[in-house]
Structure 1
Amino acid sequence: MDQDLSGIRQRAENDLVLSFLAVRRAIGLLGLFLPLALIAYGILSGEGIRGSLSSYYYSPMREIFVGTLCAQAVFLWSYEGYRPVEANWLTDRNLSRAAALGAAGIALWPTIPEPGAPEVVCTLTQCVFGLQFTRVVHFAAALLFFGAMAVTFVCLFTRGDDGEPLKRGANRIYRACGWIIIAALLLIGLVQFTPLGSDLESWNPVFWLEVLASAAIATSWSVKGRRLQTVVRAIAGVR
């Protein structure tokens, strides 16, 4: 009887681990899919690259943009992570849910359309609150999403025994991804709120910095989902 109960408990634990891995991998895949889909659209349509990821809300990729972010929000909200040993607000669950709210906010509170963008029926948030207020909420949601991800990678994913080679290699990736996101956010702020933005406008710096941050999110969650193990082993120096 004890052996049967032990087997049932082990299967349940294995199913839970697989569920965690599936959620992590889904978040990583969605983080990679969206920028690649938008880049492919820009190239194949002949339209070229727009000024930001969010500007694709006012394009035929609108449904892809909103749908992907909402799906990512659902997975992030459902992610529990590790339960804290003691009371602590800085937990996997709290930060993933903050990121989920940010992702949903980006999708549901769109930015102001770029000059020359085709007119679309205004969303409920734009009609009720106005374009400028909606833009502020959109910017705050993006900051919440990327900021929560950066803190998660630097402060939470790196918890654990650094003495284990594979964990040490994974931690290096997590920290690198977190600091890449922070650097991208700072550079986006520099471009958005200084004359530098006008000088670099033709290069679409905000778009590419957002792509870089999204790639960092995809990489970190993929590693957490136990993909990219070859890369982790190489960084850890394990054959």
Structure 2
Amino acid sequence: MSDHASGADQKAENDLVLSFLAVRRALGLLGYVLPAVLILYGLFDRQWALASISAYFYSPLRELFVGILCAQAVFLWNYEGYKPDAGEILSDKMVSRAASLGALIVAFAPMAPSAKTAPPGGEAVAPVFEPTLLQTFFDPVWVGRLHFLGALLFFGALATYCLVNFRRGGLDDPLKCAANRIYGLCGWVILACILAIAALSLFGFSESAARFRAVFWLEVVACVAFATSWAVKGQALQPLVRQVAAQSA
């Protein structure tokens, strides 16, 4: 009887681990897919890239943009992670739900339409689509500011995962140490991209950034870093982890 119960408990634990891995891999995949699809669309549409990933809300890829963000939000909201140890403030659940909320804000509170939403060489245009519910009831400029705060929350929470949550425990395992190095790199890359985007705006380089699509490419790099960290956590990039471990030996 006890053996049967033990076997059932082990199966439940295995199923839970597989569920964790599936969610992590799904988040990693979605993080890679969004920028890849936007870049491919730009190549085939001969406009290369818009000024930012958020500007694609005003493109034919609007549904894809919103859909992927909503999918990420659902996965993040339902990701329980590990229970926090005594004294740990930033639990996996807390950080993932903060990221989920940020993703939903980015999806449903779009940036204000401006010249930045036009293709390279294009004119400032009004949205191609009907305004959203928030844009109907509130000034689109204020909705755009909410969008910026949502993006900051989203990427900030993802950077926190890389720099804090993912790096907990297992320091005696060479593969875990190697994974931690990757998480750290991804986290700092995300933070660097956030700071660079903020600096471009604060120091008056918005027009130049829009011309060279600097914000778009910084966001792409941040998305790839986020996707890589979750793919590593989901054990989808084990060859990379083993290579880093071998180099550290």
Per the normalisation by structure 1, the TM-score is 0.96
- Aligned residue for 2:91? 91
Match among 175, 182, 185 for residue 184 of structure 2: 175
- After TM superposition, the structure 1 = structure 2 runs for residues 5-20 of structure 1, keeping only pairs within 5 Å, are 5-20=5-20
235 and 211 in structure 1: CA distance in 2 versus 1, 3 angstrom threshold: same
Residue 160 (structure 1) shift: 0.9
Match among 119, 133, 137 for residue 124 of structure 1: 133
Amino acid at match of 2:89: W
Match among 225, 228, 235 for residue 244 of structure 2: 235
Amino acid at match of 1:233: R
- Aligned residue for 1:221? 230
**Identity, % of aligned positions:** 50
> Does residue 1:185 correspond to 2:194, yes or no?
yes
Greater mean alpha carbon deviation, residues 165-174 or residues 198-207: 198-207
CA-based RMSD of the aligned residues comes to 1.4
- Aligned residue for 2:100? 100
97 and 17 in structure 1: CA distance in 2 versus 1, 3 angstrom threshold: same
Q: Is the 8 Å Cα contact of residues 153 and 178 (structure 1) preserved in structure 2?
A: yes
- The unaligned stretches of length 5 or more in structure 1 are none
Task: Report the 3-state secondary structure (helix = DSSP H, G, I; strand = E; otherwise coil) of the residue aligned with 1:161.
Answer: coil
Q: Is the 8 Å Cα contact of residues 209 and 215 (structure 2) preserved in structure 1?
A: no
- After TM superposition, the structure 1 = structure 2 runs for residues 126-205 of structure 1, keeping only pairs within 5 Å, are 126-205=135-214
Q: Is the 8 Å Cα contact of residues 59 and 128 (structure 2) preserved in structure 1?
A: no
Residue 88 (structure 1) shift: 4.0
Q: Is the 8 Å Cα contact of residues 28 and 227 (structure 2) preserved in structure 1?
A: yes
Residue 198 (structure 1) shift: 2.8
Amino acid at match of 2:240: V
Residue 106 (structure 1) shift: 0.2
In 1, the alpha carbon distance for the partners of 2:114 and 2:140 equals 12
Aligned length: 239
Residue 164 (structure 1) shift: 0.9
Residue 48 (structure 1) shift: 1.9
Residue 87 (structure 1) shift: 5.8
Q: Which runs of 4+ in 1 moved over 6 A?
A: none
Amino acid at match of 2:186: C
In 2, the alpha carbon distance for the partners of 1:216 and 1:153 equals 9
Residue 161 (structure 1) shift: 2.6
- Aligned residue for 2:121? none
Amino acid at match of 2:193: A
- Aligned residue for 2:60? 60
In 1, the alpha carbon distance for the partners of 2:22 and 2:181 equals 22
- The unaligned stretches of length 5 or more in structure 2 are 116-123
In 2, the alpha carbon distance for the partners of 1:200 and 1:6 equals 59
In 2, the alpha carbon distance for the partners of 1:85 and 1:183 equals 29
In 1, the alpha carbon distance for the partners of 2:87 and 2:170 equals 21
Amino acid at match of 2:138: F
Amino acid at match of 2:131: C
In 2, the alpha carbon distance for the partners of 1:187 and 1:168 equals 28
Residue 195 (structure 1) shift: 2.6
- Aligned residue for 1:4? 4
